[in-house]
Amino acid sequence: MEDHPYPGKLFIVEGIDGSGKSTQLDLLYKWLISEGYSVFFTEWNSSDLVKKTTKKGKKKNLLTPTTFSILHAVDFADRLANVIIPPLQAGMIVLADRYVYTAYARDVARGVHSDWVRNLYSFAVKPNISFYFKIPIDVSINRILSGRASLKPYEAGMDVGLSDDPVTSFKMFQTRVLSQYDQQIEEFGLTAIDG
């Protein structure tokens, strides 16, 4: 991954669901604005280009790990070109709630080969700062379920058949995701923070 040549700064946060990354990024956003910085926010899986397709595929349980990976790559490519790079070119600070490291962790946890995933996202630019909010699985589950009644099937990894029980599947799948994130600390220079 190459450094970007733009005058702006790209700050990203990573971590499993419930790790506190979105909360902390929102606080950073508000603080930067209050300090007079020009700030732009973006989040994973938010491109209008494929959002409906991804949602439909999830609802109908049509996504294989590879098609899921490709849809997220299309989403990311669209957001990089149309949402992330323009503010960087304008000298703004871009805050991204998840980046390619999410795909590197989740897609590999779903069984997609790590080299294939990294090649798929080879067009990505290197963030200036990358934070990884690390928490235990049980803390993640407690935080998620304190805000809603149940786990979402894809966050629980139900699509890869680890267990018929959503909580057990979540623990197994997110353990795989955490392992992938932990490997990325050294590989990509993620700064690990206790979430």
Contact by Cβ (8 Å): 127, 191 = no
With H, G, I as helix, E, B as strand and everything else as coil, classify residue 128.
Answer: coil
Find the mean pLDDT for residues 84-109.
97
Q: Where are the domains of the chain?
A: 8-194
CB neighbour class for 60 (10 Å; exposed up to 12, middle 13-18, buried from 19): exposed
Task: Go through 156-174 and write b for each residue having 16 or more CB atoms within 10 A of its CB, e for each that does not.
Answer: bbbbbebbeebeebbbbbb
Domain 8-194: CATH class, spelled out: alpha beta
4 — pLDDT class (breaks 50, 70, 90): very high
Which pLDDT score is estimated for 57? 85
Mean pLDDT lowest for which of 34-43, 145-154, 173-182?
Answer: 145-154
143 — pLDDT class (breaks 50, 70, 90): very high
Which pLDDT score is estimated for 61? 79
Which pLDDT score is estimated for 50? 87
In terms of residues, how long is the chain? Answer: 195
